[in-house]
Amino acid sequence: MQKSRHGTAKESRTAVFSVHLNISRPDSKLVAKFAKLPSANLSDAAGNLNTMDSGIQAMWLGARICGPACTVATRGGDFLATLRGLDAAQRGDVLVIDNQGGPDTALWGEITTAEALRKRLAGLVVNGNVRDIDGIRKQKFPVFARGTTPRVMGRGALGEINVPIQCGGAVVRPGDIVVGDSDGVVVVPQEKAPEILKLALDIVAYEELLLKKVMKGLKQVDFFSLKHQFDSLNKAHLKGHGKL
């Protein structure tokens, strides 16, 4: 038996496939601060790294997620690891599933949504598809996925729970903070969270000030001296091609 901050948890492990229940999660107060920030500003603050590709989108208008990642690695669309991950996830977690380029099958549906809501999970991100989308939308559970399909596979292939995965081109480790909104999904490495939070807050303040100036008539091309930059680049281009 092993002790976690949420109580006693048992961890099962085999020679190849692992299920880790005792993972490090960020402080809930820190997570709550990220919940107020747009994914776009977080992506800027992180240097556009760890931003999932645009194929992973919210499955209903206004969906938003923020929470520590509980990760799942599954094979070829099989449902077994998804259910094992759902069982392992704790209140406030975002379940993040890597389908590893599997076939066009659904890895989530209405019944799994009902269980996730009962456990009070923060949402789901899946590098694949879901089904029962009307039921998911009715329950207002935040789901981010590549799309929908009615097709499912069985529950007969092993996977791993709470190991580093890739989802939408971004590395996701257990306990990383996952933020998703209408723009997409960003992963904040847990050890970099305080620094990225500070940068994101500075960016938000800067953009709010710039927006006010634009609303009053400011031209960004003048504010950033972009005419001069354009002319300089144009001259450098001509010089590089022997025109000057």
Q: How far apart are CA 180 and CA 178, in angstroms?
A: 7
**Rg (Cα) of the chain, in Å, rounded?**
21
Mean pLDDT, rounded, for 91-103: 87
Tell me the three-class secondary structure of the chain, residue by residue: CEEECCEEECCEECCCCEECCCCCCCCHHHHHHHCCCCHHHHHHHCCCCCECCCCCEECCCCCCEEEEEEEEECCCCCCHHHHHHHHHCCCCCEEEEECCCCCCCECCCHHHHHHHHHCCCCEEEEECEECCHHHHHHHCCCEEECEECCCCCCCCCCCEECCCEEECCEEECCCCEEEEECCEEEEECHHHHHHHHHHHHHHHHHHHHHHHHHHCCCCHHHHCCHHHHHHHHHHHHHHHCCCC
Q: Can you identify the CATH homologous superfamily of domain 2-192?
A: Ribonuclease E inhibitor RraA/RraA-like (3.50.30.40)
Average pLDDT, the chain: 88
Give pLDDT, residue 1: 39
Mean pLDDT, rounded, for 236-240: 82
Mean pLDDT, rounded, for 220-232: 83
Give pLDDT, residue 78: 76
Give pLDDT, residue 157: 66
The pLDDT confidence band at residue 9, using thresholds 50, 70 and 90, is very low
Mean pLDDT, rounded, for 129-144: 96
Structure tokens at 21: 């229940």
Give pLDDT, residue 242: 60
Q: Which of 128-142, 197-211, 221-235 has the lowest mean pLDDT?
A: 221-235
Are 113 and 143 in contact, with CB atoms under 8 Å apart?
Answer: yes
Give pLDDT, residue 135: 96
Among 186, 151, 164, 155, which residue's Cα sits nearest to residue 65? 186
Give pLDDT, residue 46: 94
The pLDDT confidence band at residue 15, using thresholds 50, 70 and 90, is low
pLDDT (tens digit per residue) in 35-79: 999 999 999 999 999 999 999 999 999 999 999 999 999 877 777
What are the residue ranges spanned by the domains of the chain? 2-192, 200-240
* Phi, psi of 115, rounded to the nearest 5 degrees: -65, -40
pLDDT at 13 over 60: no
Written as one letter, the residue type at 203 is: I
Q: How far apart are CA 32 and CA 67, in angstroms?
A: 8
- Return the percentage of the chain with pLDDT > 70, whole number: 89
Give pLDDT, residue 7: 43
